[in-house]
Structure 1
């Protein structure tokens, strides 16, 4: 039985196949390109944990996450509505605040040079500022 077509977002089969791998690797110290974003639904308040790919940036305090399915990705909108999120990244929890959804050109300008061609192909990205412990 096949999944019904979706208006937005990744194909369900792709999610079903890749999500277990993403969840197993994301947030691990030895796998720095993937993190798990902990956020709450902006309407429901339901807690979510979403595996994401973190794009390396030149600015150590900037966290850049591509949005290959567009700016209306639910988890990204949840983070913007909440004003931030917590990421399980590189084996620890990282607070992130000041979320902004940006276009591909601005995102590419923040990414390290070797990642710019990939980031430019995405319709949008979300940028957050790392919260440094005092």
Structure 2
């Protein structure tokens, strides 16, 4: 059950800028650093994410058609800044919250939303 596109546009212009101040430093927040598919421009998107071993699970509140998700999937990865550390996200894929690859914390908060899962590396 993805949130509305109107809310997504508001958050992209207003809320994300505020969350960007603490997202790279304060788990469960993280900052996804990705390149635009067409523009090649670098974007920084704050997300709610949980780490389970070498795997990162990110709740897709706005669904898998969100620009940042499409950018990460097209590039087959992105950089993730979490708890002040920069890591690389490899092999991202979109799965249901019930998938065994999804961490327990994200499974509880994701509700009926899909989840982006990928492997972390340095």
**TM-score (norm. length: structure 2):** 0.83
Q: Structure 1 length normalisation: TM-score?
A: 0.77
User: RMSD in angstroms over aligned alpha carbons?
Assistant: 2.1
Q: In structure 2, how many angstroms separate the alpha carbons of the residues matched to 1:39 and 1:25?
A: 18
Q: Which residue of 1 aligns with 2:92?
A: 99
Matches within 5 A, 1:1-134: 8=5, 10-28=7-25, 31-57=26-52, 60-106=53-99, 110-112=102-104, 114-122=105-113, 124-132=114-122
**Counterparts of 1:40 and 1:67, CA distance in 2:** 18
Count of matched residue positions in the alignment of Structure 1 and Structure 2? 119
| Structure 1 residues 56 and 97: CA distance shift in structure 2, 3 A | closer
Cα distance in 2 between the residues matched to 1:73 and 1:9: 12
SS state of the match for residue 72, structure 1?
coil
Contact 1:9 1:69 in 2 (8 A): no
* Cα distance, 1:44 vs structure 2: 1.6
Structure 2 unmatched ranges of 5 or more: none
Find the aligned partners of 2:102 and 2:11 in 1 and give their Cα distance. 28
